A and B are shown apart, each in its own frame.
Chain A
Amino acid sequence: MGAVSAARWRPRLTVIAVLAMWCSSRAGAQSESATTTGIVIVTGQQATTPVPTLMEGAANSVGNQDVADQLFLRLAEMGPKLLTAGDRDFVPALARSWTRRDSTTLVFEIDPRARWHDGVPVTARDVIFTFKRAKNPDLAPRVSELLRQITSVTAEGESRVVFRFARAYAEQFYDATYHVAPIPAHLLDSIPSDSVSRSSFAASPVGSGPYRWVRSVPGQFVELAAVPDFFLGRPKIERVILRTAVEPSARLNLLLSGQADAMDIIPPPSVGRVASDTTLRLIAVPSSTMGYLLFNQRDPKNRARPHSILADSRVRRAITLGLERNQLVQAVFGSHGMVPYGPVSQLLWIRHRSPRAGGPNVSEARRLLAATGWGDSDADGTLDREGRPLRLVLSLPNTSGIRRQMALLIQEQLRRIGVQIEIQQLEFPIYLERRSAGDFDVDFSSVNQDPSPSGLTQSWGCTGGNNVAGYCDRGVDSVMEQAIGGRGDPGEKWIEALTKIEQDAAATFLYAPAFMYAVNRRFRGVTITPQSAWLSLRKWSVSPVPIVGRSH
């Protein structure tokens, strides 16, 4: 009987053994492939059209920008200080040098060694062609708005490009170099301008950067290869795979299983798990993200009227003073976040010159509320005035774990000063629709900022396109205009504007985090630039010996 049973089970055990051998042999093959001079970076978005002037609308994504930064070289790159005023912090890239002719004219000399990936030299004609496309609002509505101060781009010979500006201002150089990298005129000028996005060029772009396009497997990855004769030095990493996994847990599994070498923006709750893997190095990178409680100063139901509670700056100020902001940041971001002074993320250079954000002051918060007529007449713990409780709705999207977690803590902290917060989690598109319409009391906003502080006018200027709360201080507008115009020290002017915004308590500025990135320790010379994570990849090198062993 025993022999019969063994005979019945033998084939099944054989199948199981073969399967186990297959699995383990493939796992070995996988780690072998990881020892080549390639890197697999796992990201949340796949590049769809990584071509300057085509990255408009939803295509203006981190996924596209990451790839475009490897394929296309800008005239100059930002330096480590991320200083957008003047040209002191910029380093040569496609342009080997530049000069200023007068207060409204900049001249760039294209590096004669620069080549497109098909071998054709990069010339002034390419730059002119690019800016002509980029300044067309029908083709590139976003970029054309950013380049509105550039009145003309002309050539003087093959390699000299002259930029003329409408007026003198501090960020002329930044505008000429940061927003758009040149694209090849010789490949694109025969294609109708509105058909480029559907052309073979968009599907397989030809650039001038350190890496060239190899292939895209939809929903899976994009592959790039090093350009052997790249004029600023051959990249040491030969293959770059940007692998896509939308779900953070899938990205994390790819990293921790060794299927990926690097990952951007590790969710704060998972940082400890990644840190316990000894093959990985964690790097804190200042982020462009800034989160804040935006107080609506207009009545959500009738924008012509002031908000019945929040129009009074003393109430707004009291809410800010009632919050232990450092505690909130510590709870969510650990030691990698900070409380900003004004609407400033860690990406903006002006933060280095700004004062520290103020701490909580519960007694002052109570005094301010009492001064505005709010008291606890029925001793229920919530302040009231003329029979109405001091109750505010805090709106946030249900997709943001960070904001959800922080909102609960805020609710609890404000209860101490008698302010009742009702948390309203909304589906993301609905949240955005209501926010844009000004239909909220307090909006838990999160914004990603460009390196330039001039973007602040959009949200904090009286006529700013993104000023959904109705905040308006002509004094702030005037100081911001002076800072942008470069009259005096722009840094000083920006700090003056921030101070006024803080004094007005237009919002409670809560967090400006650094995000954690992970990179396998076999890569050397690793630097991650805040404005574009993988921009300096061409300078990394890779150890031929794989790092083995993990400790969990």
Chain B
Amino acid sequence: MGGWLLRRALQAVATLVVAIVLLFVLMRAAPGDPLFRLSADRPISQKEIEVLRARYGLDQPVGRQLLAFVGGLARGDLGVSIEYGRPVTSLLVERLPATMLLGGSVLLLNFTVGLWLGVRQAVRRGAREDRWLTTLSLTGYAMPSFWLGLVLAWLVGVEWRLLPAAGMQDPLLSSDAGVLARAGDVLRHLVLPVLTLSVVSIAATMRYQRAAMLEVLHLPYIVTARAKGLSERVVTWRHAWRNALFPVITLFGLWLPILVTGSVFVEAVFAWPGLGSLAAGAVGARDYPLLMGASLLVAALVVAGGFLTDVTYALLDPRVRIG
């Protein structure tokens, strides 16, 4: 197991290195110059462009820029954002908690409620509950997140004023408010974005889990378990569910990077101060250092997702590490 784990970890690191080089080169090869953006709505002198180009190292050949980036990366320095004029690492660290909170909440709901409902559907296949949940999940899956977000913000936030329409905290909350009051405030702001993102993701998980469970529930060892007199709860959750988890583990690996990339629109609609909106802004502005930092994070999450999926497979199924 140890050797296999080491080989798999080395593969992950190699993938990340290739991703960094590709991302860096492709970004520079794409049309659009970060400094032309400054002339978007006001005249800008050539002198000003030259000074700024030198300040951000954009006057150097791409190879030298890449070396400088890798050197900085080794020291934990991702450079300075052209758009914000601040270190990229600080910007990412500032925005990471909001993204983790939003993405983590969605993942939690997804892999608790989604799995539970998927199993319930499979166990009650063909019953009224299964039919209702199938209809609901297909509706949820078909619903565009951006549309749902706009509707929820308008209806619940503006018209009914039940929950905040946008933002992550009430800036007028008294400075002497306690931890509970602050947590409650963030929680209220979290409800609508999480709901928007969860509807689609839970629907997908439910469909996956239902299909996987249905395949397992007809296998002979389940019949044997029932014949031994085990309760239906034990058969379902201890025997069937464990083997029906494999496709869902793959899904989890795929969902990990979507934590950052998938919430771009929802972050914009709800003015959620996460990494998604930061990265989207960096694309539009061709803010190379920030774009590189955000892409690196996503690449790391993709690689980590794949690695975690493989390790979990290996833990659950010894045939994987042997193969």
Q: Is B43 a contact of A459 with CB atoms below 8 Å? A: yes
- A57-73: which have CB < 8 Å to B? 57-60
Q: Does A244 count as interface, using CB distance less than 8 angstroms?
A: yes
- Chain B contact patch, size range: 35 or more
Whether A245 contacts B172 in the complex (CB less than 8 A), given A57-B82, A219-B98, A436-B39, comes out as: no
Q: Which residue of B lies closest to A26 (CB)?
A: B188
Interface centre among A23, A142, A197, A253 (most CB of B within 10 A): A253
Using a CB-CB cutoff of 8 Å, which residues 149-195 of chain B contact chain A?
150, 153-154, 157-159, 161-174, 184-185, 188
Do residues B168 and A220 form an inter-chain contact, with CB atoms below 8 A?
A: yes
For residue A221, CB closer than 8 A to chain B, the reply is yes
Contact with B along A179-223 (1 / 0, CB 8 A): 000000000000000000100000000000000000001111101
Provide the residues of chain A in CB contact with B163, threshold 8 Å.
23, 26-27
A48-B86, A429-B286, A455-B43 in contact; A245/B37 too (CB < 8 A)?
no
Of the stretches B28-36, B113-121, B202-210, B293-301, the one at the interface is B28-36
Contact with B along A37-77 (1 / 0, CB 8 A): 01010000000110000101111100000000000000000
User: Which of A124-132, A256-264, A381-389, A471-479 is found at the contact surface with chain B?
Assistant: A256-264
| A30: chain B residues within 8 A (beta carbon) | 164, 170, 172
In the bound assembly, the distance between CA atoms of A466 and B287 in angstroms comes to: 22
Cross-interface CB contact of A23 among B162, B168, B170, B174, cutoff 8 Å: B162
Q: How far is the CA of A24 from the CA of B161 in the complex (A)?
A: 8
A60: chain B residues at CB < 8 Å are 38, 42
Query: Does B104 reach chain A (CB closer than 8 Å)?
Result: no
Complexed CA–CA distance, A477 and B182 (Å)? 61
* Distance (whole angstroms) from the CB of B280 to the closest CB of chain A: 9
B31 touches A433 (CB 8 A): yes
Of residues 409 through 448 on chain A, the ones whose CB sits less than 8 Å from some CB of chain B are 427-430, 432-433, 435-436, 446-448
A395 to chain B, nearest CB (A): 13
In the complex, chain B residues whose CB is within 8 Å of the CB of A254: 165-167, 271
With known contacts A34-B172, A455-B43, A259–B273 Cβ distance under 8 A:
no
Q: How far is the CA of A244 from the CA of B167 in the complex (A)?
A: 8
Number of interface residues of A (CB under 8 A): 70
Contact assessment for A27 and B268 in the assembled complex, using a CB-CB cutoff below 8 Å: no
Whether a CB of chain A sits under 8 angstroms from the CB of B311 is no
In the complex, what distance in Å separates the CA atom of A250 from the CA atom of B168? 12
Interface string of A292-312 (1 = CB under 8 A from B): 000000000000000000000
B37 and A429 contact, CB distance less than 8 A = yes
Which residues of B68-86 are within 8 A (CB) of A? Answer: 82-86
Q: Is A33 an interface residue (CB 8 A)?
A: yes
Q: Is the CB of B45 within 8 A of A259?
A: no
In contact, B37 and A40 (Cβ under 8 angstroms): no
Asked if B67 is an interface residue, CB under 8 A from chain A, the answer is no
Known: A49-B85, A245-B167. A38 touches B45 (CB 8 A): no
A256 to B167, CA, bound (A): 14
- Report A303-327 residues with CB < 8 Å from chain B CB: none
B33 partner, pick from A249, A433, A466, beta carbons under 8 A: A433
Q: Are A220 and B162 in contact (CB under 8 A)?
A: no
Which residues of chain A come closer than 8 Å to B157, judged between CB atoms? 253, 257
Contact assessment for A26 and B184 in the assembled complex, using a CB-CB cutoff below 8 Å: yes
Give the residue of A428, A429, A466 whose beta carbon is less than 8 angstroms from that of B44.
A466
Instruction: Check if B263 is an interface residue, CB within 8 A of chain A.
Output: no
B167 in contact with A220 (CB, 8 Å)? yes
Q: Are A219 and B94 in touch, CB under 8 angstroms? A: yes
* Interchain CB contact under 8 A, A141 and B48: yes
Report how far A145 CA is from B43 CA in the complex, Å: 12
B171 lies within 8 A of A223 (CB): yes
Pick the contact of B48: A22, A49, A145, A430 (CB < 8 A): A145
- Complex partner residue of A27 from B42, B161, B172, CB under 8 angstroms: B161
Given contacts A137-B47, A145-B45, A429-B33, contact A57 B85 (CB under 8 A): yes
CB pair A433–B36 under 8 Å, yes or no, is: yes
**CB pair A23 B45 closer than 8 Å:** no
Contact of B47 among A38, A57, A145, A447 (CB under 8 A): A145
B231 contacts partner chain A, Cβ-Cβ < 8 Å: no
Decide yes or no: A48 and B40 within 8 Å by CB, A142-B48, A220-B273, A254-B166 being known contacts.
no
Minimal beta-carbon separation of A167 from chain B (angstroms) = 20
A250 touches B271 (CB 8 A): yes
Q: Does A36 reach chain B (CB closer than 8 Å)?
A: yes
CB < 8 Å neighbour of B41 from A56, A141, A253, A447 = A447
Quick one: which of A20, A137, A428, A464 has the most chain B CB within 10 A?
A428
Residues in chain B near residue A436, CB distance under 8 A: 33, 36, 39
Say whether A24 contacts B171, CB under 8 Å: no
- Is A138's beta carbon under 8 Å from chain B? yes
* A466 touching B170, Cβ below 8 Å: no
Verify if B278 is at the interface (C-beta below 8 Å from A).
yes
| Residue A403, interface by CB 8 Å | no
Nearest-neighbour CB distance to chain B for A265, whole angstroms, equals: 13
- Tell me if A133 is interfacial: C-beta within 8 Å of chain B: no
Q: A241-B172, A253-B166 known; A458 and B85 CB under 8 Å?
A: no
A459 surroundings in chain B (CB, below 8 A):
43
Flag whether A246 is at the interface (Cβ < 8 A).
yes
B82 closest partner in A (C-beta): A58
Q: Are B284 and A428 in contact (CB under 8 A)?
A: yes
Measured CA separation A245–B164 after assembly (Å): 13
Across-interface contacts of B270 in A (CB, < 8 A): 250
Report A4-40 CB contacts with B as 1/0, cut-off 8 Å: 0000000000000000101110110010011010101
Partner of A58, one of B38, B150, B185: B38
Contacts of B165 in A (CB 8 A): 250, 253-254, 256-257, 259
> 11 A-B pairs, CB-CB below 8 angstroms?
A40-B172, A49-B85, A219-B98, A253-B157, A257-B161, A429-B34, A429-B285, A430-B31, A433-B36, A447-B43, A448-B42
Closest 3 CB pairs of A and B: A429-B32, A219-B273, A458-B43
A-B contacts besides A219-B277, A250-B271, A257-B166, 12 pairs, CB < 8 Å: A58-B83, A58-B285, A137-B51, A142-B44, A145-B48, A221-B171, A245-B167, A250-B270, A259-B167, A432-B40, A436-B36, A552-B159
